Amino acid sequence: MGSSFGKIFTISTFGESHGAALGVVIDGCLPNIEVDFDLIQRDLQRRKPGQSKLSSPRQEAEDVDILSGVFEGKTLGTPITLLVKNTDVKSADYTPIKDIYRPSHADFTYDAKYGIRDYRGGGRQSARETVARVLAGSFAKMILNKLGIHIQAYVSQIHTIQVSKSYLELDLAQTESNLVRCPDSETAAKMEEAILKAKAEGDSLGGIISCVVKGLPVGLGEPVFDKLHADLGKAMLSINAVKGFDIGSGFESVLRKGSELNDSFTIENHSVRTKTNHSGGVQGGISNGEDIYFRVAFKPVASIKSEQESITKQLDNVKFSIDGRHDSCVVPRAVPIVEAMAALVIVDHYLRNASYKMQAFS
């Protein structure tokens, strides 16, 4: 259970890190969408390990097979199945730690829950699963592109190094201009340095990804439980290593008073706007037409090279170190994952909102 997401635009991901393949079935995608193969490849490349000196050396070819739902370059409205085979798997690397419960990994909890576990490369708990999310997200983006809705995530903090400017002061188009995916080049350089230092030390670093959604129409999000930001929060918290989420002024808003934080309405070009946007584009769980922006906190990844203490499945104490090919900092690679999950939430709410837009009732 738990491998499906979305109500109308529904995805079901599958696959273990060192199994035959990873993939996703998308049910509920609109028909007649031209498949943007470049977009698929671009996002896959951004998520891919081994893309730079900053990331894991695991080489994943990431050739995508489209098994269903696409005909003559267009979506059919039927389930779309996307598959990435697992290659360059070095499962033997994992044999020594097959019985070890690695600290802050899900080895123990999977064993306790299921009584069985594919220990190779972390099995289903591996962040390799997110390749399926990026694939699905690229189809969501194809729809959003047609609607003029654009999502851009970027790294705003690595360890103690943070971008001091708000997203409004940054040129987000610069995000891809450096390896850490931070649009502020000076800060990016410091982040890169920090990551390489941690790598040299056999340690790992976390960070924060900020994400901005522009062009959203008014009215997306359902009241009460399925608030737009509640679904965004769940989507982000479901990504491996994420420990926190906030939207708009978020945790910061605690430090302000109501009189300082309220977003007054005003009229601009005959449409309703707010003078400020502390709300982050969502009021009462429903989009108000302003930019949505939110933050996602990633802890440092648990796989580190330094020696650690833990126990085995047989309840013996052990000392061990992990020799697998791991990132010292996954945050730059998580940028397209955050975008993908945001795209999935938004396209799903866009389609959920369709019923209110039916012509017969307007």
Site for a copy of itself in 110-129 (CB under 8 A): 110, 112-118, 123-125, 129
Contact set for a copy of itself, span 123-162 (CB under 8 A): 123-125, 129, 146-147, 157, 159-160
Measured from the CB atom, the residue of 79 and 324 that comes closer to a copy of itself is 79
Diameter of the chain by CA atoms?
70
Measured from the CB atom, the residue of 184 and 290 that comes closer to a copy of itself is 290
Question: Which one among 64, 155, 198, 335 touches a copy of itself, defined by CB under 8 A?
Answer: 198
Task: Give me the phi and psi of 161, to 5 degrees please.
Answer: -95, 115
Contact set for a copy of itself, span 234-273 (CB under 8 A): 234-238, 240, 243-251, 253-259, 261-267, 270, 272
Contact 278, 294 (CB under 8 A): no
Contact 300, 204 (CB under 8 A): yes
Site string for a copy of itself, 6-25 (x = CB under 8 A): -xx-x-xxxxx--xxxxx-x
What does the alpha-carbon distance between residue 268 and residue 112 come to, in Å, rounded to a whole number? 57
Three-class secondary structure assignment of 68-96: ECEECCEECCCCEEEEEECCCCCHHHHHH
- State both tokens at 22: 């990873």
214, β-bridge pairs = 150
Measured from the CB atom, the residue of 46 and 124 that comes closer to a copy of itself is 124
What does the alpha-carbon distance between residue 160 and residue 198 come to, in Å, rounded to a whole number? 13
- Would you state the torsion angle of the CA atoms of residues 29, 30, 35, 36, taken in this order, to the nearest 10 degrees? -80
Contact set for a copy of itself, span 164-183 (CB under 8 A): none
332 contributes a contact to a copy of itself by CB under 8 A: no
Measured from the CB atom, the residue of 50 and 77 that comes closer to a copy of itself is 77
**At a CB cut-off of 8 Å and minimum separation 6, what does 183 contact?**
154, 163, 170, 171, 172, 173, 174, 175, 177
* Type of residue found at 151: I
3-state secondary structure of 26: strand
What minimum distance in Å lies between the beta carbon of 173 and a copy of itself? 25
Contact set for a copy of itself, span 273-302 (CB under 8 A): 274, 278-280, 283-288, 297-302
Question: Which one among 50, 215, 219, 324 touches a copy of itself, defined by CB under 8 A?
Answer: 219
Question: Which one among 3, 59, 166, 321 touches a copy of itself, defined by CB under 8 A?
Answer: 3
What minimum distance in Å lies between the beta carbon of 165 and a copy of itself? 18
Q: Which of 41-49, 170-178, 182-190, 351-359 is the region at the interface with a copy of itself (rule: CB under 8 A)?
A: 351-359
- State both tokens at 224: 């009460």
Contact set for a copy of itself, span 34-63 (CB under 8 A): none
